């Protein structure tokens, strides 16, 4: 039975899809059969970020409506073994997410996969609620600035109270904070919130800190999850985050887009992931 993870935030544009792609790729690389689903009906982006937009025939909504079978809609990633994408419709909207249909698809996916990663749309309305409803774990993506933190806080409240686990009085969704677009310079100048400030306000365990990085835009342009970019600091941070998610103890290395050599000596190369 799979673990269902929702990547959500409340605020838009903080890095949910980037994170969902990186996370799913990261989990698959560790040998877990993983599917990543786009819940952003009508504004789909996951297929672009995953680089499979030219191979989409059927989508999530087709499967919900019964016009296609699940295996017809699933797209195998060409780079990572065991990684699949379930894209969504560009022409419909969130009302097309009928909960019975979503439940059925989730049920099928749970049986066949180790991890189901749900890329949530922004907001707190039906699309976001459908994405979070079946989750076992949640990664709340937050930028280190006040409006993102406030929206994340709202989302955390909803994750606690409006999920299927909450309705059935089961163990609550296990939630983590992932700070993204962290710019060390701006934090030092006082323009951005420090990690401690964000955690104080959200009161959740920290999964990782992903630095602001040019490589993220490059990754999205080339349709490659950034975690596959070996040279990227953001990619490295995502690898650490996936490692922590899977139970490894890893130090948080707060790096920026510095030219190599400047920070290598200062920062925690000593604490690279150990087996």
User: By the criterion CB under 8 A, which residues form the site for another protein?
Assistant: 150-151, 153-154, 156-158, 160-161, 200-201, 203
Cβ-based nearer residue to another protein, 49 or 155: 155
Q: How far is the CB of 261 from another protein (least distance, A)?
A: 42
* Residue 227 near residue 242 (C-beta atoms within 8 A): yes
Strand partners, 176: 139
Q: How far is the CB of 74 from another protein (least distance, A)?
A: 35
Cβ-based nearer residue to another protein, 175 or 232: 175
Q: How far is the CB of 205 from another protein (least distance, A)?
A: 13
Strand partners, 119: 7, 38
* Residue 163 near residue 135 (C-beta atoms within 8 A): yes
Beta strands in the chain (DSSP E): 3-8, 34-38, 75-76, 83-86, 115-119, 137-142, 174-182, 206-211
Q: How far is the CB of 148 from another protein (least distance, A)?
A: 12
Cβ-based nearer residue to another protein, 127 or 235: 127
Beta strands across the sheet bearing 83-86 = 75-76, 83-86, 34-38, 115-119, 3-8, 137-142, 174-182, 206-211
Cβ-based nearer residue to another protein, 124 or 219: 124
């Amino acid at each position: 039975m799979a673990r269902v993870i929702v990547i959500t935030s409340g605020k838009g544009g903080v890095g949910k899809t980037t994170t969902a792609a990186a996370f799913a790729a990261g989990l698959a690389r560790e040998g877990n059969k993983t599917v990543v689903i786009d819940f952003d009906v009508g504004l789909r982006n996951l297929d672009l970020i995953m680089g499979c937009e030219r191979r989409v025939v059927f989508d999530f909504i087709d499967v919900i409506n019964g016009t296609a079978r699940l295996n017809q809609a699933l797209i195998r990633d060409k780079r990572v073994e065991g990684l699949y994408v379930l894209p969504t419709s560009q022409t419909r909207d969130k009302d097309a997410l009928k909960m019975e249909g979503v439940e059925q698809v989730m049920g099928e996916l749970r049986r066949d996969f180790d991890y189901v990663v749900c890329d949530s749309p922004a907001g707190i309305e039906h699309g976001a609620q459908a994405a979070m409803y079946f989750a076992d774990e949640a990664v709340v993506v937050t930028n280190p600035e006040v409006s993102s933190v406030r929206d994340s806080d709202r989302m955390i409240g909803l994750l606690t109270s409006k999920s299927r686990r909450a309705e059935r009085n089961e163990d609550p969704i296990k939630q983590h904070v992932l700070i993204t677009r962290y710019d060390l310079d701006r934090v030092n100048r006082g323009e951005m919130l420090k990690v401690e400030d964000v955690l104080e306000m959200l009161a959740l365990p920290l999964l990782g800190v992903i630095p602001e990085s040019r490589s993220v835009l490059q990754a999205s342009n080339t349709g490659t999850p950034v975690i596959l970019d070996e040279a990227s600091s953001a990619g490295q941070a995502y690898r650490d985050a996936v490692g922590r998610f899977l139970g490894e103890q890893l130090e948080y290395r707060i790096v920026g887009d510095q030219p190599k050599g400047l920070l290598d000596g200062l920062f925690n190369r000593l604490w690279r992931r150990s087996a």
